[in-house]
Amino acid sequence: MSTVYNTGDVYDKVVSRDPDQKEFLQAVHEVFESVKVVMDRNPEYGKAKILERIVEPERVVSFRVAWTDDRGEIHVNRGFRIQMNSAIGPYKGGLRFHPSVNLSILKFLAFEQVFKNSLTTLPMGGGKGGSDFDPKGKSDAEVMRFCQSFMMELHKYIGPDTDVPAGDIGVGGREIGYLFGTYKRLKNEFSGVLTGKSLNWGGSLIRPEATGYGSVYFASEMLATRNETLAGKTCLVSGSGNVSQYTVQKLIELGAKVVTLSDSSGYIYDESGITAEKLKYVMTLKNIKRGRISEYSEKYREAVFTPVDSSKDYNPLWDHKADCAFPSATQNEINGKDAQNLLKNGVYVVSEGSNMPTTPDGVDLFIDKKILYGPGKAANAGGVSVSGLEMSQNSMRLKWSREEVDNKLRQIMKSIHKSCVDASEEYGTPGNYVNGANIAGFVKVADAMLDQGLF
Ligand code: NDP
Ligand code: 2IT
């Protein structure tokens, strides 16, 4: 079939506009590679310049966040909100507080979010925001003052039918509480403007668990295509925050054995397996004491802690015998060498809890070897899905039970899995969940953009 539209030219233009935004370019490149065939089959998308429009945020807000620490010293951080695409619903996506936050990272996350949210079956557009503020080592009062200052500006741009932020790295229940309290005061309105709220003031049951549980449900769906389950499988999990904790919880429940966890200082390897009791310790350590994962091996002597060694070109966490890997920390945490190590060690299931954790050479290896590889925008969509369900409950002013929300989450993950499988088959690359997720997510948004005229 002749190419009626040159995706490569559009990509080159994106590069020439923002040559330094490497994470954003990485995310765009992968989606463009997948949807080339869709552009070939649907000339109307090319004519409407869907790709040129979809890479350009509808709006980018950047603002100063000034706040005082407990000693009265003034600090200035940067705040952002990327309102990427509202074709199928209000902008929706998390806020990340981490010193590495910049426009490239937030644009990549917002871009991924557009396709992820489209896959969820719920009416949500894509957005992302955050700050280069580092919550580590800050007191609750400092975090509160920062969140108040951040929302003083952000509130002008969001709303329950406009843009609904939630958590991401460095933003959990505590931060959502401070942000919500400030929004409520500024607008004199109690609404579903944020998700991830606490249970007694508008939050949904299962939202804290949703990303981790969803990533495990996605892995189960992939394994079911080979008539297998997670029972008895050995699993590597990275990170030790929200996503990792509930990934481990669900894996234990399903009879799998988890042997690793990490944070930015290093990782623990516990060959005997992380039990429910050990996980409870990790939750207290991380969520209440805000300690380091190295403390795990001080408490449980059977575990070995390995500090980060930046002179190594691979992460030893991914170099252990296992069946499954659940990267759940951050972007580009599995490079080509790590991917090789995973394959060498027998890993044949990778379900991405974090966003874009695998570098492009790693992705290519997983696809070449035909392992069960679930990319983040499909595998970690459970979090935003239950955020969508939180929005529904807020609008209806009622509350669903734990079972109801968990069943809906399972159904959504099943449906995302099916969409990926169907799209990958329809477009000639069966079993390739990367193409499946990108294509299925893209087509729905592209069609909505066509319907709504030029914007
Ligand atoms: P948390 O802040 O709860 O935990 C993040 C974990 O990852 C911590 O253990 C942290 O270690 C580690 N980490 C963060 N940055 C780095 C880094 N640069 N190098 C090494 N380790 C790092 O965040 P979440 O669990 O919410 O998010 C984890 C991932 O999941 C992110 O990629 C996020 O985008 C993605 N995600 C989250 C969703 C959610 O609902 N929360 C939904 C979908 C995806 P340390 O404490 O030392 O910084
Ligand atoms: O990356 C993600 O999907 C999230 N951080 C969750 C977004 C949300 O709105 O719940």
Q: Are 372 and 230 members of one domain?
A: yes
User: Each residue of 75-120: pLDDT tens digit?
Assistant: 999 999 999 999 999 999 999 999 999 999 999 999 999 999 999 9
pLDDT band at 5; cut points 50, 70, 90 = confident
Rounded to two decimals, the pTM is 0.98
> Considering the domain boundaries, does residue 388 fall inside one?
no
Q: How far is residue 275's CA from residue 282's CA, in Å, rounded to a whole number? A: 11
- Tell me the C-alpha distance between 444 and 446, whole Å: 6
- The strand ranges marked E within 277-371 are 304-307, 324-326, 349-351
Domain of 44 in residue numbering reads as 7-54
Percent residues over pLDDT 70 in the chain: 99
Look up residue 126 and give its amino acid. Answer: G
Question: Taking a C-beta distance cutoff of 8 angstroms, is the pair 7, 39 a contact?
Answer: yes
- 232 and 281, same domain (yes or no): yes
Instruction: Specify the pairing of strand 163-166 against strand 91-97.
Output: parallel
Q: Which tens digits make up the pLDDT trace of 38-56?
A: 999 999 999 999 999 999 9
CATH of the domain at 374: 3.40.50.720
147-185 pLDDT, tens digit per residue, is 999 999 999 999 999 999 999 999 999 999 999 999 999
Query: According to the model, what pLDDT value does residue 4 have?
Result: 63
Q: What is the dihedral of CA 86, 87, 88, 89, to 10 degrees?
A: 30
Mutation choice for ligand 2 from 84, 113, 128, 244, CB with most ligand atoms inside 8 A = 113
| Whether 261 and 279 share a structural domain | yes
DSSP character for 358?
B
Q: Look at ligand 2, atom 10, and give the residue with the nearest C-alpha.
A: 384
228 and 342 part of one domain: yes
The reply to whether 355 and 267 lie within a common domain is yes
Q: Tens digit of pLDDT for each residue in 409-426?
A: 999 999 999 999 999 999
Question: Residue 197 catalytic?
Answer: no
pLDDT value of position 98: 98
SS3 at position 306: strand
- Residue of 328, 330, 356, 385 to mutate, ligand 1, most atoms within 8 A of C-beta: 330
Contact 194, 176 (CB under 8 A): yes
DSSP E strands in 321-370: the ranges are 324-326, 349-351
**Contact by Cβ (8 Å): 293, 305:** yes
> Which two tokens mark 387?
């955020």
Residue 396: inside a domain: no
124 Cα nearest atom in ligand 2? 9
pLDDT band at 1 (very low <50, low <70, confident <90, very high): very low
Is there an atom of ligand 2 within 6 Å of 379 CB? no
Burial 300-322 (b: 16+ CB within 10 A, else e): beebebbeeeeeeebbbbbbbeb
Residues 371 and 246 in one domain: yes
